[in-house]
Amino acid sequence: MDIDDTVLDFHKAEAEAVKKTLRHLEIEPTDAVVTRYSEINDAQWKLLEKGQLTRAEVKLRRFKLLFDELGVVRDAEYARTYYEETLSHGHFFMPGAETLLERLFGRYELYAVSNGTTAVQNGRMESAGIKRYFQRIFLSEEIGAVKPSKEFFDRCFAEIPHLDREQSIILGDSLTSDIQGGINAGIKTCHYCPRGAAQYDAIRPDFSVTTLDEFVELLAKL
């Protein structure tokens, strides 16, 4: 199970953390600026998935690019540190996520898989009180590989050798990270698309749901 924008609403938490960071840096956090940061950030993480950037480069580059566009001089490393510290202390749930975890807990083996920064993800999951639902939490920074690489999932499965891939499924909102990752891993995939049914091209999930309740119903049928 993916975490960001599947269980926890990352974009809402991101917006709050970015606003606080920009205010701290004496930059007006208008809606347009916050939206632009999010766009830049998403693009950098996509490059990480493709192996074109390192995690360290992603975390600095997103701020450098934003500051360049705004025409301001600020310390990107300081911005990164302040932002990550702020982000790690808050959480917002996706609709139905708490109910989903309660309904699945004890009936299925639950594992979290995330490309998010270790300190940030641990802080957010701790804040949300959801660590107890997962038998293991696999973070790419600790694993040494990133979703969607087969290597990431191979290392996860190596830690849980009893698990049958044919009896496994990944739930996530990202086609390029979660669904492609599940395909690379040779497990079933379910795309969570809360904004409505998606159109699929090159990356096609086995299943798709628009609400987390639907995922519970899907599992019961498999």
Is residue 67 scored above 90 in pLDDT?
yes
Helices vs strands, H then E, count in the chain: 10, 5
Q: How confident is the model at residue 198 (pLDDT cuts 50, 70, 90)?
A: confident
Closest CA to 112 of 95, 90, 97, 92: 97
Confidence of residue 199 (pLDDT cuts 50, 70, 90): confident
Give residue-wise pLDDT tens across range 99-145.
999 999 999 999 999 998 999 999 999 999 999 999 999 999 999 99
Determine the Cα–Cα distance for residues 92 and 76; give it in Å rounded to an integer: 26
Domain ranges of the chain: 10-87, 97-221
CATH number of the domain at 97-221, out of 3.30.70.260, 3.40.50.720, 3.40.50.1000, 3.40.109.10? 3.40.50.1000
Residues 6+ apart with CB under 8 A from 90: 13, 16, 17, 124, 127
Assess whether 2 carries a catalytic annotation.
yes
| Domain 10-87 annotated CATH 3.30.950.10 | no
Q: What are phi and psi of 71, to 5 degrees?
A: 70, 35
What's the confidence (pLDDT) of residue 196?
86
